Chain A
């Protein structure tokens, strides 16, 4: 370790840091620390000027470790790492010290103590930097084939989009026909086109495309492998088939809740919106004088706190279709809030009002009562109870996740949220990706979405999934565990702990030993912190590197 040469760059961040900490004091203190050969402060280290200073210092002072004390690694680590790389330094020899978000900004009234804390943080960072080791990313090839689970509108759109770019597609659908939930819909808002037409157009295109192989009445039974090389077992009735794919897209959709035990639901006189679609398809509303729709049925409550988003517009659409079929039929929509965001949908709501549909606001504490031939409801705006005649009651129930979504999540090593919907990697930064590389999501599997949104998401997922397939290879995480074969007892605890199946115990010449599958590893380190033999070293977060930061203040001051 005698040739460790650390350079530290302390950022003023304008006045964000410089205004609350004494930078000269930090520079002076830092220059006294072990291994330091260069220290400087910058107005903005992340500016072109600052980055050039880093690159110059690396070559002039032969720095082999770079520490930047500034904002947060969550936003700026990639930038500084690539700066190091440009100057010929391995990017993993870079160390971040957060003296803004977790120091100057949170101790604004206390310049002296904040400066002391920043000194400690810099010392901790320098101590860790000295122990950092260069790491190398490796690459694996990507099979240019996408497995799409779910043949609804999202899955079909995604399949076409990817096939048109020249990728092979395996489309798996559990039902015996494509179309998914759209098969149960009559017309779609806001255009009122027939759902069946959309399905037909898409299915024909799909079937004509030579790149697409469709598996109906099939389910995914098992998934092995990692981004670039997945081996997926599909079951078709009682036969199994193995397909290989480089990426996987989850487009399994959702289903409408069946409101058993609510509002005297019987599927005849009290039906769901989906069941009403079938009535409308057959044009059988003519004889009904009055129809009452109830919104937010068994949703936006404690058990199911979310808004299903599509039910308001579905109710508006079906109410308008009823009025078109029979202008004398009265339609009452009992709602808690009408959610019609955006210009088109808000306009659509206006049209529904103009069409003579009556909207009555109820409170969740006083839900409507469904009787044999009428519905009573306390009108929140009028402040009185109304009795509405009803020949048919239609319940707007939320879209809910499929029962087996968490099982599929387990197979794919991707999470579902507390409602059973698939959870993306990041709501804004990676909205159609999963944290697991090579797996993507679109449509209602992710969250209640209407047809338009599902199609947009499908294009998004197709676009994201095409990246590794176009490039043809993916980089694997260098932050992976290293297993000391001599210490490993082959107990399999790491294999059990790993949420990504990135460790496998194999028979070797030395007996049973754990092996890391680099392409699957996400670098969490859970295996190492639990290894009974302590045979696992987590690269870039080794015990030594962490312990170097476990510095009591008493040691910082000396």
Chain B
């Protein structure tokens, strides 16, 4: 690990038009001072923030991302921020998997009347990121590999099943399904974590053979997993037609993403 001198955190914040952006404006009107490290991107609702956009921010090298919405129950769009809450919780889990400290993604609620609170949240978050250091400080991975992890994570969050699952979370946990069953929050959290882990392994494999034909053993080395685990994923990926055999090296087939 390297210590970076004079590190200035580079942070973007997604603020919703109705509450947190108004809160940020109020901080200005009230002249509450805060560090200039945070730049704001306005969205109509915090629920517009697609998890993949958060990942893209980290891929582009930002050190921290804030997502601030209306307080729960006061969303201008009634339920938007509940989706934000659940999607960002999933994003944090995925970040952890990629080797990024989940603390780099900050999700909270700020009302239009909370100018002072907005200023202090920005101040605190900037200090937190300053302590964490530049993005990647927390990982032992070499930069190239770290980037692959981030790209794999973004793909996990873009993936149909992950998105479908988190989209149904409110319904599955809060209400009963058509069979009258209800899933507990713990059960759901376990389920989605499993899903993320599984998808993450698959995506890493896919990235390793995006533009090279590799054998199971070679892939296992690249993605630092056991050949058995890789093989399991390879079998299903091949069945789904996402990868195909491009040649045979001795006794082991070589795979490539189609």
Contacts and interface: CB of A to CB of B under 8 A. Distances in A.
Interface of A: 72-74, 98, 100-103, 105-110, 113-114, 116-117, 120-121, 124, 413-415, 417-418, 423, 435, 479, 491, 493, 496-497, 499-500, 522-526, 528-534, 538, 541, 543, 546-547, 549-554
Contacts of A413: 78
Given A124-B39, A550-B62, A523 B87 contact: no
A497 B166 CA distance: 11
B45 A524 contact: yes
Contact of B28 (A102, A496, A526, A530): A102
Given A105-B31, A106-B31, A108-B33, 16 more contacts: A107-B33, A113-B36, A121-B40, A124-B39, A415-B78, A491-B164, A496-B167, A497-B83, A500-B78, A526-B83, A528-B48, A529-B48, A530-B47, A530-B167, A553-B10, A554-B61
B145 interface: no
B224 interface: no
A107 B122 CA distance: 13
B239 interface: no
Contacts of A418: 73
A74 B112 CA distance: 11
Given A524-B45, A528-B50, A552-B60, A98 B40 contact: yes
Contacts of A106: 27-28, 31-34, 36, 119
Given A120-B39, A499-B77, A530-B83, A541 B44 contact: yes
A529 B81 CA distance: 12
B62 to A, nearest CB: 5
Contacts of A554: 10, 61
Contacts of A499: 77-80
Contacts of A100: 28
B222 interface: no
B246 interface: no
A-B pairs, 9 with minimum CB distance: A101-B28, A525-B48, A526-B47, A524-B45, A105-B28, A524-B77, A529-B50, A101-B25, A499-B78
A532 B47 contact: no
Given A493-B167, A499-B77, A546-B43, A541 B60 contact: no
Interface of B: 8, 10, 12, 17, 21-22, 24-25, 27-29, 31-36, 39-45, 47-53, 56-57, 60-62, 73-80, 83, 87, 119, 158, 160-161, 163-164, 166-168, 171
A541 B43 contact: yes
A103 B29 CA distance: 11
Nearest to B113: A427
Contacts of A113: 36
A550 B73 contact: no
B162 to A, nearest CB: 8
Contacts of B21: 72, 74
A101 B24 CA distance: 7
A74 B167 contact: no
B39 A73 contact: no
Contacts of A102: 24-25, 27-28, 40
A29 to B, nearest CB: 15
A526 B77 contact: yes
A496 B171 contact: yes
Contacts of A74: 17, 21-22, 25
B62 A529 contact: no
Contacts of B32: 106
B10 A552 contact: yes
Contacts of B87: 529-530
B44 A523 contact: yes
A114 B119 CA distance: 15
Contacts of A522: 77
Nearest to B21: A74
A124 B163 contact: no
Contact of B168 (A72, A120, A493, A552): A493
A201 to B, nearest CB: 38
Contacts of A550: 12, 41, 53, 56-57, 60, 62
A546 B80 CA distance: 18
Given A117-B39, A550-B12, A529 B47 contact: yes
23 contacts: A74-B22, A101-B24, A102-B24, A109-B33, A117-B39, A121-B39, A414-B78, A415-B74, A415-B75, A435-B78, A499-B79, A524-B44, A524-B48, A524-B77, A529-B47, A532-B167, A534-B158, A546-B48, A547-B53, A549-B41, A550-B57, A551-B60, A553-B10
A423 B74 contact: yes
B50 A117 contact: no
Contacts of A531: 163
A383 B167 CA distance: 59
A114 B44 contact: no
A100 B52 CA distance: 30
A532 B163 contact: yes
Contacts of A120: 39
Contacts of A116: 36
A417 B119 CA distance: 26
B203 to A, nearest CB: 16
Contacts of B53: 543, 546-547, 550
B160 A533 contact: yes
A541 B44 CA distance: 8
A306 B17 CA distance: 28
A114 B34 CA distance: 11
Contacts of B56: 547, 550
B37 to A, nearest CB: 8
A331 to B, nearest CB: 40
A53 B71 CA distance: 40
Given A435-B76, A499-B80, A525 B167 contact: no
B45 A526 contact: yes
A548 to B, nearest CB: 10
Contacts of B41: 124, 546, 549-550
Contacts of A435: 76-78
Nearest to A107: B36
Contact of A525 (B27, B45, B75, B158): B45
Contacts of A415: 73-75, 78
Contacts of B45: 524-526
Given A72-B25, A117-B39, A496-B171, A532 B78 contact: no
Contacts of B73: 415, 417-418
